[in-house]
Chains A and B, each alone.
Chain A
Amino acid sequence: MKLVASIRWRVALLIIVVAVMGGFLDGWLPQDVFSAASTLIRIDGSSTVFPITEAVAEEFQKETRGSVRVTVGISGTGGGFKKFCRGETDVQDASRPISAGEMEACRAGGVQFYELPIAFDALTLAVSPQATWINSVTVDELKRMWEPSAQGRIMKWSQVRPDWPDQPLKLFGAGSDSGTFDYFTEAVVGKAKSSRGDFTASEDDNTLVQGIANDKHALGYIPFAYYEPNKKRLKAVSVDGGHGPVSPSRETVENGSYQPLSRPLFIYVSTKSVARPDVKKFVEFYLAQVPVLAPQVKYVPLPPQAYALAGEHFKNGRYGTAFQGGSMIGMKIEDLLRREAKL
């Protein structure tokens, strides 16, 4: 019995210690993170857009002194749209426009949305610096490498271009749940999600960087934000979209010459959520800050008119998509603007 009694004492002591520690924590942490805020903005979607949205969310929470809580998840563009169309999230990060199937899902879920382009990314074709034979590639050659019928057939560099070495061709690319995969296949093969299956696929771009850097015979596509810090280990291949080879950079994306692999990134905002003042404020803050924040995380901002126009659409309540589930390959910034204007 004595033993049991002493256990009870211990438990009581433990509870007191926890309570005291809790009190200590209360005094020590900045008060504003605990404020009575109950508003929560839920964001999910593309891992490519994540760094931008994270930067905006970070600044927004500093700005509002923690009175609005923002969470950002990474489910991929496709996975995020599933949640968005069920009404589980307020804002959706997307590295491609909404697809026809997803529009249908949103209609079924009663979710209407604003479509706001926020930045550009350049899909970068990368090889190992040891791959001295390749400096540029045409879109047609890329198609021959990546189309479904290449599976098990195009296995050597020399099969794509005769003066390339008679060595194995090892391909690296994005996993099939990512918007990057959808965009690349649509831009190169001509149909979204249509790709050979026998390549090394990963949702984690660092895995791709690692794989390409360590293999002389590798070729893969990664977002520009992953190429930039790994410039010493990777070589970017110029892409010839019909007007001569162009290498990826902020300039070539801005002037529209890096085609067809520069792509716009979007956020989608549910109209229901915009009825809440905190979400409305967040989106306005997003459009105002993203020109400064996007370059910090290695993305190319849109020209100022694009943000102005997007802001106007948002202010005037013009919702819906400019793409109608269709293609957007080869779109220059001016095209995008015109398209948004016609909404």
Chain B
Amino acid sequence: MTPIQQKIARRKALDRFFAFEGLMVMTAALLVLLVLVGQLMFDGLSRLSWQFLTSFPSRFPAQAGIVSAWVGTILVMLVTAMAAIPLGVGAAIYLEEYAPKNWATELIEINIANLAGVPSIVYGLMALGLLVYQFRLGQSFLTAGLTLGMLILPMVIIATREAILAVPPYVREAAYALGATKWQTVRDHVVPYSMGGMLTGMILALSRAVGETAPLITVGALSFIAFLPHPPWQDNFPYVSFQWLFDPFTVMPIQMFNWVSRPQEEFHVNAAAAGLILLAMTVVMNAVAIVIRARFRKRIHW
């Protein structure tokens, strides 16, 4: 073997070693996840049933269910999305496309990045002071949704900016060359082309919000609710009702937390089953994100 071949062989060995190490680390991480999910399944799978999904909480573990919790989670997520997405996308488009590059913009950008790292309980305390007491929104779906909306707003902004950055500058230049205004360029080219990335970011942010407990406890999530909020429709004009926004709320993680702190073992099984449902909700949201991204990618023809 010539010296050069030796050298190559050594480097290849090093390469294989690194690949092996990477594989090990990944396996370890996946294994931990697998064990966690497996444990949850082992504990909770037997409790999953149609009855569990459609019953209200109860003092009898076997009769208890999560209908008020999952309906609550979906409605809170709806308010969160309504609040955070338009604001976040608007802010990101402004920062990326319109804002002058000066120290003020810089300062705003740094602060957004910092806000994304603020612990969620801090948002809860702020919401308690601002939304519950100052604006008198009460302990309602609206408060909960806005709280989580504030929590994920920085994440939505950052994800949207990343998506917009990925649109190559020549797309904009081509639009300008054809006489399009800035707004036309943004509306017809930048936003459609970055839609996939934007939606992925939003759904990832929402799937973080779905598991939040701490900020919702501080704004007054309730442990026992055996009724559903007012329906979003009504029999007479204008057929749409927003009264549910002001109803008291509970969400899945709160229900789980309550069951875990019960003395009876059977309630802990209920908590595991609720955990599985919450996990399924997150997986579905992430799957939707992947599908959407794939569809939008397919359609982009540059």
The residue on A at minimum CB distance from B223 is: A74
Q: Which of A1-45 contact B (CB under 8 A)?
A: 1, 3-4, 7, 22, 26, 29, 33-34, 37, 40, 42
Cα-based distance from A296 to B188 in the complex (angstroms): 64
Please, which residues of chain B bring their CB within 8 A of the CB of A297?
A: 59
Q: Cβ of A58: which chain B residues have Cβ within 8 Å of it?
A: 56-59, 224, 226
Evaluate whether A22 and B232 lie within 8 angstroms (CB atoms) in the complex, with A206-B260, A206-B261 already known: yes
C-alpha spacing A215/B255, complex, angstroms: 30
Question: Residue-by-residue, is B250-292 near A (CB-CB < 8 Å gives 1, otherwise 0)?
Answer: 0000000010111111000000000000000000000000000
Number of residues from B at the complex interface, CB < 8 A? 31
* Chain A positions within 8 Å of B232 at CB level: 22
The interface stretch among A162-170, A188-196, A226-234, A273-281 is: A226-234
Given the known A-B contacts A7-B195, A22-B232, A50-B223, are A74 and B263 also in contact in the complex, defined by CB atoms under 8 Å? no
Complex alpha-carbon distance, A71 and B258, angstroms: 14
For B295, the closest partner residue in chain A by CB is: A10
In the complex, how many residues of chain A place their beta carbon closer than 8 angstroms to a beta carbon of chain B?
A: 41
Residues of A within 8 A of B230 (CB): 34
Could you count the A-B residue pairs with CB atoms below 8 Å apart for me: how many are there? Answer: 81
Q: Which residue on chain A has the smallest CB distance to residue B68?
A: A33
Query: How distant is A123 from chain B, measured CB to nearest CB, in Å?
Result: 14
* Nearest chain A CB to B238 CB, angstrom units: 14
Question: Is B192 an interface residue, CB under 8 A from the partner?
Answer: yes
Q: How far is the CB of A158 from chain B (nearest CB, A)?
A: 32
Cβ contact within 8 Å between A72 and B188 = no
Is B188 a contact of A1 with CB atoms below 8 Å?
yes
Q: Which residues of A contact B226 (CB under 8 A)?
A: 57-58, 61, 70
B231 touches A26 (CB 8 A): yes
Q: How far is the CA of A206 from the CA of B267 in the complex (A)?
A: 12
Known A71-B224, A72-B224; judge A204-B59 contact (CB<8 A). Answer: no
- Chain B residues positioned under 8 Å from A69 (CB to CB): 227
A67's closest neighbor in chain B, by CB?
B227
The answer to whether A33 touches B228 (Cβ under 8 A) is yes
Query: With an 8 A cutoff between CB atoms, is A66 at the interface?
Result: yes
A66: chain B residues at CB < 8 Å are 227
| B interface, CB within 8 angstroms of A | 54, 56-59, 187-188, 192, 195, 220-228, 230-233, 248, 258, 260-265, 299
Q: List 13 A-B contacts (CB under 8 A).
A: A7-B195, A22-B231, A26-B231, A29-B54, A40-B248, A51-B59, A51-B262, A71-B225, A73-B220, A205-B263, A206-B261, A296-B59, A297-B59
In the A-B complex, the 7 residue pairs with the smallest Cβ-Cβ separation, listed nearest first, are A72-B224, A55-B59, A226-B263, A73-B222, A71-B222, A69-B227, A229-B263
| Chain A contact residues, CB within 8 Å of chain B | 1, 3-4, 7, 22, 26, 29, 33-34, 37, 40, 42, 47, 50-51, 53-55, 57-58, 61, 66, 69-74, 204-206, 209, 225-226, 228-230, 293, 296-298
